[in-house]
Structure 1
Amino acid sequence: MAPFEDDYVPTLKILLIGNSSVGKSALMLRFTNDMWAPEESSTTIGVDFKVKMVMVGGKPYKLTVWDTAGQERFRTLTKSYYRNAQAVLVVYDITNRATFEELPRWLKELEANTASDIVKVLVGNKLDKDSSRAVTTEEGEDMADRYNVGFLEASAKSNTHVKECFMEMVETIIETPTLWGQSTTGLLLPRGDDILELEAAREENGGLSLCQC
């Protein structure tokens, strides 16, 4: 039996949220394809996603990484994609203070649309532009402490702490029994049917192109 057969590989759903232009798509592309999405890329419309296989503890897992649009006009659309997510990266740009000041709105929306046991991590992106920093590391840590979420600073461009952002969440999901259901065969499965959701999203969004949003 192939180790990565869909019927036997647990699927985890990870969502990225935050303002437009903070680099959500760049983080997703760097993690899933080890590629850099240039700054001039077009903005995500609606929702995009990538799939990545990882090994944890010698076992395979399929990650579906969902990138949501940050513009206000897409808020109704993207709220539906919180369903069945097991982890969420809340991203801001350390060089743009306005994106940091919007975090309470994103974190409150996250709390309203997800279960209390979901894994949440605050990510200050664009660490490669540290000389242009508008938000201190201490401010990011204080925000994370206030909302009881994890915290990391990262750079999709220089590939700094990107893998850590995702893999620490994956390990936490695996260690959190309430984020999992049990199949009749005894195989651990995520809550909901994300494979069907992926196909529905593909049809609904018409093969959206990847971008930095």
Structure 2
Amino acid sequence: MSSNTSSFSLLDEVELNEHSKLRFIQKMNIALLGNSGVGKTCIIQQYCKNEFRDLTAMTCCIDFAKKQFEDFLLCVFDTAGSERYRGLATSYLKNQHAVIIVYDVTDPKSKRDVINWKNIAESFSPSIPIIIIGNKVDLISNEELKSMQQEQNAYIFNKTFFTSALLNQGLDDAFNYIINQAKNKLNQSVICSPKKFKKNIKNDENQKKNANNCKC
């Protein structure tokens, strides 16, 4: 692909449009980081699948969900927040286009640890778009929420959204913002033409053929 589209990953999947022609779409990757129990999995399930499951099992390693848009496929990666899996989780950051750091508004430690997660993300990609989500606002009063909204600028260094995965509150605003930030960062079209796709396929086939003919 040309340099202005190389940051998006080309899907192996194809689909038929209304004229029965192959249409090739690209995907955007966004990873959710944060301590265990802050609601990352519930956020992804609600945003991508319009469902809420009161999950008690901790995410192990990596999981992801997809959400189809008109011109691209969003892949949202659910990473484990525990120390045991943290190294594996953060290894996925090099392939992400943006990061969402999640904390629990009822858990002060998860908020303090936001800075650690931010440092981890920026160690892989210093200029990667990052936003903060303060989740579980359904567990606090309106007065507490207003207080957090007023004081957030004194603490949080990236744009912050307050959400409830249970009530599906604030998630669209948060994801719309970070998707636009990622698109602006990449400054590119998310549709890959079949011509470019076929060129890439041909290059891949040539590489495979050369590898098969290798006498080493």
Q: Quote the residue 2:61 is aligned against.
A: 46
Q: Quote the residue 1:114 is aligned against.
A: 125
Cα deviation, 1:64-91, whole Å, max 9, x if unaligned, reads 1000000011111112110121111100
2:168 counterpart of 1:159:
yes
RMSD: 2.7
Q: TM-score, normalised by structure 2?
A: 0.73
For the Cα contact (< 8 Å) 2:80–2:89, is it kept in 1? yes
Identify the range of structure 1 (91-100 vs 135-144) with the bigger mean alpha-carbon deviation: 135-144
Q: Quote the residue 1:129 is aligned against.
A: 139
Deviation of 1:144 after TM superposition, in Å, equals 2.7
Question: Residues 102 and 85 from structure 1, CA distance in 2 versus in 1: closer, same or farther, beyond 3 angstroms?
Answer: same
Q: Secondary structure at the match of 2:67?
A: strand
Using the alignment, how far apart are the partners of 2:186 and 2:116 within structure 1?
29
Deviation of 1:123 after TM superposition, in Å, equals 0.5
Give the letter for the 1:160 counterpart. Q
Structure showing greater relative contact order (alpha-carbon pairs closer than 8 Å, 6 or more residues apart)? 1
Moved over 4 A (4+): 132-135, 178-187
2:76 counterpart of 1:65:
yes
Using the alignment, how far apart are the partners of 2:74 and 2:30 within structure 1?
7
Q: Secondary structure at the match of 1:15?
A: strand
Using the alignment, how far apart are the partners of 1:126 and 1:168 within structure 2?
19
What are structure 1's unaligned runs of at least 5 residues? Answer: 188-213
For the Cα contact (< 8 Å) 2:72–2:191, is it kept in 1? no
Alignment map for 1:1-213 (pairs within 5 Å): 1-2=16-17, 8-38=24-54, 40-55=55-70, 60-116=71-127, 118-131=128-141, 136-145=148-157, 149-177=158-186, 185=195
Q: Secondary structure at the match of 1:136?
A: helix
What are structure 2's unaligned runs of at least 5 residues? Answer: 1-15, 198-216
Q: Quote the residue 1:193 is aligned against.
A: none
Which protein shows a greater Rg? Answer: 2
For the Cα contact (< 8 Å) 2:24–2:192, is it kept in 1? no
Using the alignment, how far apart are the partners of 2:51 and 2:161 within structure 1?
20
For the Cα contact (< 8 Å) 1:36–1:157, is it kept in 2? yes
